[in-house]
Amino acid sequence: MCCNICRIPIIDYHRHCGNCMYDLCLSCCQDLREASTSVGKEEFSENDRIQDTENASEQVKTSKLRLNLLEKFPGWKANNDGSIPCPPNEYGGCGYRSLNLSRIFKMNWVAKLVKNVEEMVSGCKVCDSETLLNTGSYDHSLCQYAHREDRDGNFLYCPSSHDIRSEGIGNFRKHWVKGEPVIVKQVCDSSSMSIWDPKDIWRGIRETADEKTKDENRIVKAIDCLDWSEVDIELGEFIKGYSEGRVREDGWPEMLKLKDWPSPSASEEFLLYHKPEFISKLPLLEYIHSRLGFLNVAAKLPHYSLQNDVGPKIYMSYGTYEELDRGNSVKNLHFNMPDMVYLLVHMGEVKLPTTEDEKIQSSSRESEVNESVGDPEKVSGEGSFPDLSLGGHDVNNEHVEKSATDEDEIMEDQGVETGTAEEKTVKSERLNGYSDVSEKTHPGAHWDVFRRQDVPKLIEYLREHWTDFGRPDGVTNDFVTHPLYGEVVYLNGDHKRKLKEEFGVEPWSFEQHLGEAVFIPAGCPFQVRNLQSTVQLGLDFLFPESVGEAVRLAEEIRCLPNDHEAKLQVLEVGKISLYAASSAIKEVQKLVLDPKLGAELGFEDPNLTATVSENLENLMKHKQITCA
């Protein structure tokens, strides 16, 4: 149930027209009253205004973001007594004199929920953010992926899957509550990676899906990362190009990523019936599982509620390790409302055909680079294509050289031991890869992830320099107003250097290897460039620590145009929070009433993950037996 004005899902209380069924959320009611000050705000009914404000506060703390409703709907204003009339016919209403205050949940259900929570935690020690940051054992799995002058958060937590299973989630939560990405290594061994070849996925889905999807010449939609246009391609041809590569008519390598295949339901069926043990072995199942994750707030919606596609989703896309001047980013700069994890399950190195002309051009470029060493103005020659490439390797090398003399001091400040050059090399290999997969393969993808606190400066940079991106297709005034929701630009090395020089903002930059899972917190802008053709397994979820950020993003998304892609996929975070609180109360009551669980199972107990995995394995076996 959505507001007829902003198209955002309504949580509970709202204004409703009994004559034409028009619905208005309380935030839009407040915006309309704010915009109607010229008609005598001092005469507004205090009862209506206070009632709407209090009900809105119970559901979500309102921000200062406002919709300019008088500009969009001229002539529609709040009444002098503060009541809201139904909008005229031309705006979708009927012009009825007043909208009534209505609710979705039962009377006082939310109030009782709040009362139950207060009674339950009365006398308990609440684990706030500061307490959480000082808890958990010291973690040695730290890798440096940024070189900021303030040295705040240059390191990321990079445990192995075994570390999380044995040590629990204390260290993970300590970093996640600060809005830091987490890279979990050794999620799967090399043997399990081999079964994720696109041909095997296609074969498996054809065995489990209906007859319509078994056509070998099936046409699917893909995104051409060169210009971000949609193209139609036979599925078999896409899979062939995954390993052999494809070249456009203009000579550029074709960088494609599948848009709508396989569907989330097909991905889930494929995992359930062909790899039932795979999901149960993923790290942090209590957080990420879409139905059984009891710390996944988004999993608490009842089955009859309209829910977002949270996955698991299978993403297939091309890539090349060689830098291109344009079009080799698989995800442009943006951020999402939910938390996300991407697990790299397969990759293939593409050997693109090389013509004699390309060899001559490559040789020419190499000589130009050699001649321009020390002169940065000569690196980007005139007359070249718009440079929308990553440039990540040069940037990283530059940062490493710049910070080499300071690294010992930084490591000591962070509590990380330092040693000889040989010891550092061994330690770096231990932290940045693992012997069975990463040390034997090239990385599959390059990530740039920005901190939440840097978002205002990042937005300011994009607004000031948006013409530097060559005005690619899709860049409109909406991009200038909301630059991180459009996913239309990619920051290359030159852009990132300017961003750091002018605004002091630098992302965490790292490479993702086979078998590694990258956890991205809600509200952290990120971009991804494939270094090889890859298959990623993605899931969306919402951690308890991320609910506040999701609420803030929901208010921003409310002010986007109604046809904006971000608004079409908005999470019902208010409703999710209410159901999650109700579920938590029931679970705590069960623990309190059950002396066995209440005494033995703590929140940070490592057996928590093992219990979830065991229950999930039992569920998978039961479904397999039922299917058979």
More confident residue, 381 or 361: 361
DSSP category for residue 87: P
Are 52 and 78 spatial neighbours (Cβ–Cβ below 8 Å)? no
pLDDT at 185 over 90: yes
If you average pLDDT over residues 29-54, what whole number do you get?
Answer: 61
Query: Is there a cis peptide before residue 312, judged by omega within 30 degrees of 0?
Result: yes
pLDDT at 377 over 50: no
More confident residue, 125 or 606: 125
pLDDT at 437 over 90: no
364 alpha carbon, distance to own chain's centre:
40
Q: Which residues are bridge partners to 122 per DSSP? A: none
If you average pLDDT over residues 525-544, what whole number do you get?
Answer: 92
- Name the CA radius of gyration of the chain, rounded: 26
- At residue 381's C-alpha, the angle toward residues 378 and 387, to 5°, is 115
Complete domains list, the chain, with CATH = 1-37+65-104 (no CATH), 217-252 (no CATH), 282-351+441-597 (2.60.120.650)
- CA gap 276, 377 in Å, rounded: 55
- CA gap 261, 235 in Å, rounded: 9
pLDDT at 471 over 60: no
Residue with tokens 């995995």: 613
- CA gap 358, 350 in Å, rounded: 16
Minimum mean pLDDT range among 46-50, 133-137, 231-235: 46-50
Position 393 scores a pLDDT of 40
pLDDT at 397 over 50: no
pLDDT in tens, 573-596: 888 999 988 888 887 777 666 555
Q: Which residues of 558-571 are buried (b: 16+ CB within 10 A; e: fewer)?
A: bbbeeebebbeebb
pLDDT at 567 over 50: yes
Helical pair 235-244 and 198-208, crossing angle rounded to 10 deg: 160
Position 418 scores a pLDDT of 40
List the one residue out of 56, 157, 53 whose CA is nearest residue 516.
Answer: 157
468 alpha carbon, distance to own chain's centre:
26
List the one residue out of 163, 145, 164 whose CA is nearest residue 153.
Answer: 145
- CA gap 398, 496 in Å, rounded: 12
Position 14 scores a pLDDT of 93
3-state DSSP call for residue 331? strand
Position 188 scores a pLDDT of 81
Q: Which residues of 271-306 are buried (b: 16+ CB within 10 A; e: fewer)?
A: bbbbbbebbbbbbbbbbbbbebbbbbbbbbbeeeee
More confident residue, 488 or 457: 457
3-state DSSP call for residue 181? coil
* Residue 511: band (very low, low, confident or very high) from pLDDT cuts 50, 70, 90: very high
Position 134 scores a pLDDT of 55
Position 452 scores a pLDDT of 93
pLDDT in tens, 479-502: 666 788 878 888 988 899 999 999
More confident residue, 340 or 248: 340
Position 180 scores a pLDDT of 94
Q: Which residues are bridge partners to 185 per DSSP? A: 160
Position 611 scores a pLDDT of 58
3-state DSSP call for residue 145? coil
More confident residue, 364 or 4: 4
Minimum mean pLDDT range among 62-71, 345-354, 394-403: 394-403
pLDDT in tens, 279-325: 777 888 888 887 777 788 888 887 777 666 777 889 999 988 776 66
Please state, rounded to an integer, the average pLDDT across all residues of the chain.
75
Question: DSSP string covering 335-380, please?
Answer: --SSEEEEEEEEEE-------HHHHHHHHHHHHHHHHTTT-GGGTS
- CA gap 469, 87 in Å, rounded: 41
Q: Which residues are bridge partners to 155 per DSSP? A: 144
Position 478 scores a pLDDT of 59
- CA gap 486, 476 in Å, rounded: 9
Whole-structure pTM value? 0.78
- CA gap 498, 510 in Å, rounded: 19
